[in-house]
Copies of this chain bind each other. A is one copy, B any other.
Amino acid sequence: MTRCQRRRTSVSGAFMLPRLLCLLCFAVISLAEENTEMVNVVTERKAEESHRQDSANLLIFIILLTLTILTIWLFKHRRFRFLHETGLAMIYGLFVGIILRFGVHLPQDLNDITLTCAMNSSPTTILVNVSGRFYEYSLKGEVRDSKGHDVPNAEMLRKVTFDPEVFFNILLPPIIFHAGYSLKRRHFFRNLGSILSYAFVGTVTSCFVTGLVMYGCVVFLKVIGQLGGDFFFTDCLFFGAIVSATDPVTVLAIFNELKVDVDLYALLFGESVLNDAVAIVLSSSIVAYQPEGDNRHTFDGSALLKSLGVFLGVFSGSFAMGAATGVMTALVTKFTKLRDFPLLETALFFLMSWSTFLLAEACGFTGVVAVLFCGITQAHYTYNNLSAESKSRSKQLFELLDFLAENFIFSYMGLTLFSFQHHVFNPLFVIGAFLAIFLGRAANIYPLSFLLNLGRKNKIASNFQHVMMFSGLRGAMTFALSIRDTATYARQMMFSTTLLIVFFTVWVCGGGTTPMLSLMHIRVGVDTDQDNSVSSTHKKHCLITKHESAWPFRLWYTFDHNYLKPFLTHSGPPLTSTLPACCGPIARCLTSSQAYENAGQLHDEDTELILNDDSSLMYSDMTVSTDAHGMPTPSTSQAGLYSLARTSDDPLDRELVFGGTRLVLPTDDPSDPLTSFPPPPPSPPLSDPLRHRV
Which residues does A use to contact B, with CB under 8 Å? 1-2, 5-13, 15, 18, 30, 34, 37, 39-40, 42-44, 46-47, 49-52, 54-56, 58-59, 62-63, 65-66, 69-70, 72-73, 76-77, 109, 111-117, 119-131, 133-146, 155, 158, 165, 169, 281, 284-285, 287-288, 290-292, 294, 310, 313-314, 317, 332, 336-338, 340-341, 343-344, 346-348, 350-352, 354-355, 358-359, 361-365, 367, 393, 396-397, 399-400, 403-404, 485, 487-488
With a CB–CB cut-off of 8 A, which chain B residues contact A116?
A: 128-129
Contact of A364 among B18, B290, B313, B399 (CB under 8 A): B18
Which residue in B46, B113, B343, B485 is a CB contact (below 8 Å) of A403? Answer: B343
A129 engages B142 (CB within 8 Å): no
State how many angstroms separate the Cβ of A265 from the closest Cβ of chain B: 20
Most buried by B among A72, A113, A145: A113
Question: Which residues of chain B are near A355, meaning CB under 8 Å?
Answer: 59, 62-63, 66
Given A69-B348, A73-B337, A397-B399 contact (CB < 8 Å):
no
Please give, as numbers and ranges, the residues of chain B lying within 8 Å of A77 by CB-CB distance: 337, 340
- A73-B338, A350-B404 known; A143 vs B122 contact (CB < 8 Å): no
- B364 and A11 form a contact (CB under 8 A): yes
> Which 10 residue pairs of A and B lie closest in terms of their CB atoms, listed nearest first?
A137-B137, A11-B313, A55-B361, A5-B287, A116-B129, A111-B123, A59-B358, A136-B140, A56-B362, A114-B127
Query: CA A298 – CA B687 in complex, angstroms?
Result: 78
Choose from B113, B332, B343 the contact partner of A119 (Cβ within 8 Å): B113
The reply to whether B122 and A39 contact each other, CB–CB distance below 8 Å, is yes
> For A109, what are the chain B residues with a Cβ–Cβ distance below 8 Å?
123, 125
Contact A343 B111 (CB under 8 A): no
* Cross-chain contact B358 with A55 (CB below 8 angstroms): yes
With known contacts A55-B361, A314-B11, A122–B128 Cβ distance under 8 A: yes
Nearest Cβ on chain B to A43's Cβ, whole angstroms: 5
**Assembled-state Cα–Cα distance A237/B50 (Å):** 27
Q: Which of B6, B54, B124, B351 contacts A69 (CB 8 A)?
A: B351
Q: A364: shortest Cβ distance to chain B, in Å?
A: 6
Indicate if the CB atoms of A117 and B129 lie closer than 8 Å.
Answer: yes
Structural contact, B12 and A363, CB atoms closer than 8 A: yes
Q: B130 touching A343 by the CB < 8 A rule?
A: no
Bound-state CA distance A287–B8 (Å) is 10
**Of all chain B residues, which has the CB nearest A365?**
B11
Determine the distance from Cα of A138 to Cα of B359 in the docked complex, in whole angstroms. 27
Query: Per a CB cutoff under 8 Å, which of B55, B135, B292 touches A142?
Result: B135
Chain B residues closer than 8 Å to A338, beta-carbon distance: 70, 73
Q: Which residues of B contact A5 (CB under 8 A)?
A: 284, 287-288, 290
Task: Tell me the complex Cα distance, A539–B226, Å.
Answer: 89
Alpha-carbon gap, A130 to B122, bound state (A): 7
Chain B residues with CB under 8 Å of A359's CB are 55, 59
Task: Report A469 CB to chain B, min CB distance, Å.
Answer: 31
Bound together, the chains give a CA A49 to CA B125 distance in angstroms of 12
Chain B nearest CB: distance from A181 CB in Å?
15
Verify B135–A288 contact, CB threshold 8 A: no
A–B pairs, 7, beta carbons within 8 Å: A12-B364, A13-B363, A40-B142, A56-B362, A66-B355, A135-B142, A347-B403
Contacting pair B346 A400 (CB below 8 A): yes
Asked if A43 contacts B139 (CB within 8 A), the reply is: yes
Given A112-B123, A141-B136, check contact A52 B287 (CB 8 Å). no
Q: Given A112-B123, A400-B350, A404-B350, are A134 and B145 also a contact pair (CB < 8 Å)?
A: yes
List the B side residues contacting A284 at CB < 8 Å.
Answer: 5, 8-9
Question: Roughly how many angstroms separate A111 CA and B121 CA in the complex, as a whole number?
Answer: 8
- Minimum C-beta distance from A353 to chain B (A): 10
